[in-house]
Amino acid sequence: MLKVGLTGGIGAGKSEVSRLLAGYGAVVIDADRIAREVVEPGTPGLVAVVETFGPGVLATDGTLDRPALGAIVFSDPERLAALNAIVHPLVGARSAEREREAGPGAVVVHDVPLLTENGLAPRYDLVVVVDASPATQLDRLVRLRGMTEADARARMAAQATREERLAAADLVVDNDGPLEDLEPQVRKIWAELTERAAATR
């Protein structure tokens, strides 16, 4: 099994690379998706969040009210740390479970937005960084996601710098250009990943 960490700044195109790799046969484990699953209604994760932050973080249908929780944690580092202490171990356990299910010869790609920020590179056999210039990121966030320029800049500033991400990279996907330039690069990276996976068997 080859364990790959996939990351990139907001608007760099990591989700598209993740989608392409899954299409080629990678087992993609999406940390963001799992983080949502572990706090669904009926889970111990949601119970722990409500115990810690109060019933005000629940929507009327019993699901987690993410904006309400966000308003509490994102302006208060201690509260954010408390949330992370609940969610991160659950995400880690679920990710490990999915990894075990993948089988010995698999290429397992962990799609982790904050890989660099959380110092997670050592967990993986190699790290793939999807890279785009800050100008390209900003343009995509405003034009494609409908963010205001101020909001987009704030989101980008809250993440690791481009240099920090590239310093953690073993392989880099340059996604500064149009979408049609992306697929050949990702196919080439997939060939390298499968080769490395075969060598580890």
This prediction has a pTM of 0.85
pLDDT at 11: 93
Where residue 17 sits, what CATH number does that domain have? 3.40.50.300
Structural domains of the chain, count: 2
Q: Is the pLDDT of residue 199 over 90?
A: no
pLDDT at 147 (0 to 100): 86
Q: State whether 97 and 49 are in the same domain.
A: yes
What domain range is 151 assigned to?
1-26+106-201
Give the other-Cβ count within 10 Å of 1's Cβ: 16
Q: Are residues 193 and 136 in the same domain?
A: yes
161 shares a domain with 65: no
Note the maximum CA span of the chain: 52
Identify whether residues 90 and 156 lie together within a single domain: no
Q: pLDDT of 110-132, one tens digit each?
A: 999 889 998 999 999 999 999 99
Q: Are 19 and 92 in a shared domain?
A: no
